[in-house]
Structure 1
Amino acid sequence: MWVLFTLMAAFMQAWRNAFQSELSRDVGVLGVTLARFIYAGPLAALYLAGLYLWQDAPLPSFNLKAAGFIVGAALMQILATALMVRLFKLQNFAVGAGLAKSEALVAAILGVLFFGTSLSLLGWGGVLLGTVAVFMLSTKGGVGGLSLKTVLLGLGSGSAFALTSLWVREASLNLMLPFPHRAAWVLLLVIVLQTILLLGYLLIKNRSELDALLRRPKLTLAVSVSSCLGSIGWFSAMSLTAVPYVKTLGQVEIFFMMLVSAIYLKQSIKVKDMAALVLIGLAAVMVMWPSV
């Protein structure tokens, strides 16, 4: 079941990234980030209500640990999304999203350091291969054209997404609810918190950016819907199994986003970029292969 949820998540995330990339042409970073959450809350609430109608379950009993993971995941996902939107403004869609896919590698490394995951020699080789792939994506005209800013933004976004995923799983496990209710509760609470924080900030500090977002209602709705469906997939899958397994399989998003980039956004992808994106997927497989 976690495989099906992950495939759904990867497919929907490829479209969400494409919609965000298009929206970023007219809306600022925080506005595009808010588009991910602004209409997703009601959808997440409907999904949770549907689960309770389908299968009765108790209400969650929150503890300080679970609340901390939920708040941390919400804030980290806002940061990750904002950094990725900045990438879209520096590179084209597929390259920007590909850089953010360093998430799988970072999640594996953080798992080794803090969550008891072990990596073999082949796994560490995957980490190095992923680093090479990131450099390939960040160069323009060879090593001499290497953009350090792009590399740092990509690694920062990937690291923030990795922490989000790890904390989402921990929050889900700490709610002590059956699947899929625990994942749905975490999803709803994270989205509501993110919406309140970003909407409140833009209302107070940058109303013009919020107005620019609301002038693109169809595209904003497309971002929110695809984001919510993708998050249902990610949160459910990570509630069922360890994050590195989910993010490894989730690398199929690389191929989805290359197709979306070429077909929907009409963006050309260089052979070097395609090779680098494939290497990132291969690197993630190498990281997890000995543990499968």
Structure 2
Amino acid sequence: MAFSWILFTLMAAFTQAWRNAFQKQLSHTVDVYGVTLARFIFAFPLAITYVLILYQFDPVQIRIEFSQRYWVCIVIAGLAQIAATALMVQLFKQKNYAIGIGLAKSEAILAALIGVVCLQEHLSILGWLGVLMGAIAVFLLSQGNQQHTGFSISTLMIGIASGLCFAITSLLVRQASLELTILPVFHRAAWILCSVIGFECMILLLFLSIFSRQTLIALWQQCILTVKVSCCSFIASLGWFTAMSIQSVAIVKTLGQIEVVFSLLISAFFFKERLAKTDHWGLLLIVIAAIMVIWA
């Protein structure tokens, strides 16, 4: 169990890279709110199914009591994740796919800072070095092909805002997990997954049903792509939530920056986008940072 968080993090990073790729494709025909909803709409029934299967094969005879603090964490985490996803979709329209993902990965350093300052989390010296190495990698990735496109302050700000919202989501998911310590790790993660995705799905469906039914129609017209986004999102969230129920957010998210490796490969081979030299250095530093946090 001690090192299982590594496997769950790698699973999450890989499937999230593909989820983001499918979201990028969907963003060509569906607006920001629709692409955001695509992440949750089919993931919610999958999350419910996962809880039922988990209890079928590993029944736990413990009465669960969800505290007020738990629900506060769930609601704020859900809202933050909706905002983070919407901002990331905006990133896809600002610069190329890999650079957008690289900017959003500022989440790791932001989660480390907020966790230590506000939530009394602890990181070893090696862990801090890994987080900082990841931050340098994010900076290199944010440069992109500046000599051709020019530095974009709006891209930088949207990327940092997205990373901040993702960091808040991750930290609150961790706090919600700590409210369910009477349960085994997998059961904790399953309930949090179901709670967060369920809240996000219902609030977005309600919003779009009232203000933008055309977006729901557009999603239905792209049903296959929407299913791909939701399935990848479910697997990624399952991996993240389980890993963060075992290990601190900063460590999980720093290792999770390996997602950028997958994203760069998808960018180059799937979207046929050219990468700058700084991207290769950023990729190398992310791998080094991942190794450092594993050792930490």
Question: Same fold judged by TM-score > 0.5?
Answer: yes
Contact 2:77–2:169, Cα closer than 8 Å, also in 1: yes
User: Do structure 1's residue 217 and structure 2's residue 223 form an aligned pair?
Assistant: yes
Write out aligned runs for 1:50-69 (5 A). 50-57=53-60, 58-69=62-73
User: Do structure 1's residue 42 and structure 2's residue 48 form an aligned pair?
Assistant: no
Deviation for aligned residue 1:222: 0.1
Write out aligned runs for 1:151-190 (5 A). 151-175=156-180, 176-190=182-196
Matched letter for residue 171 of structure 1: A
Counterpart CA distance in 2 for 1:251 and 1:15 is: 14
Contact 1:134–1:280, Cα closer than 8 Å, also in 2: no
Map of 2:82 onto structure 1: 78
Deviation for aligned residue 1:161: 0.6
Which residue among 8, 29, 32 is the counterpart of 2:35?
Answer: 32
Which residue among 17, 20, 44 is the counterpart of 1:14?
Answer: 17
State the identity %.
47
Map of 2:155 onto structure 1: 150
Map of 1:238 onto structure 2: 244
Gapped regions of structure 2 (runs ≥ 5): none
Which residue among 274, 277, 280 is the counterpart of 1:268?
Answer: 274
Number of aligned pairs? Answer: 290
Deviations 1:70-100 (A, max 9, x none): 1111111101111111001111111111111
Contact 1:251–1:284, Cα closer than 8 Å, also in 2: yes
TM (normalized to structure 1)?
Answer: 0.91
Deviation for aligned residue 1:65: 0.7
Counterpart CA distance in 2 for 1:2 and 1:121 is: 18
Matched letter for residue 108 of structure 2: A
Counterpart CA distance in 2 for 1:118 and 1:3 is: 17
Contact 1:248–1:281, Cα closer than 8 Å, also in 2: no
Counterpart CA distance in 2 for 1:157 and 1:49 is: 33
The 3 A distance-change label for structure 1 pair 247 and 158 is same
Map of 1:95 onto structure 2: 99
Matched letter for residue 54 of structure 1: F
Matched letter for residue 202 of structure 1: L
Contact 1:45–1:188, Cα closer than 8 Å, also in 2: yes
Deviations 1:222-248 (A, max 9, x none): 000000001110001111111112112
Matched letter for residue 88 of structure 1: F
Which residue among 105, 112, 126 is the counterpart of 1:108?
Answer: 112
Counterpart CA distance in 2 for 1:239 and 1:83 is: 26
Deviation for aligned residue 1:127: 3.6
Contact 1:139–1:145, Cα closer than 8 Å, also in 2: no
Gapped regions of structure 1 (runs ≥ 5): none
Deviations 1:138-189 (A, max 9, x none): 4653499221111111111111111111100110110232221111000001
Contact 2:51–2:187, Cα closer than 8 Å, also in 1: yes
RMSD of the TM alignment (CA)? Answer: 2.4
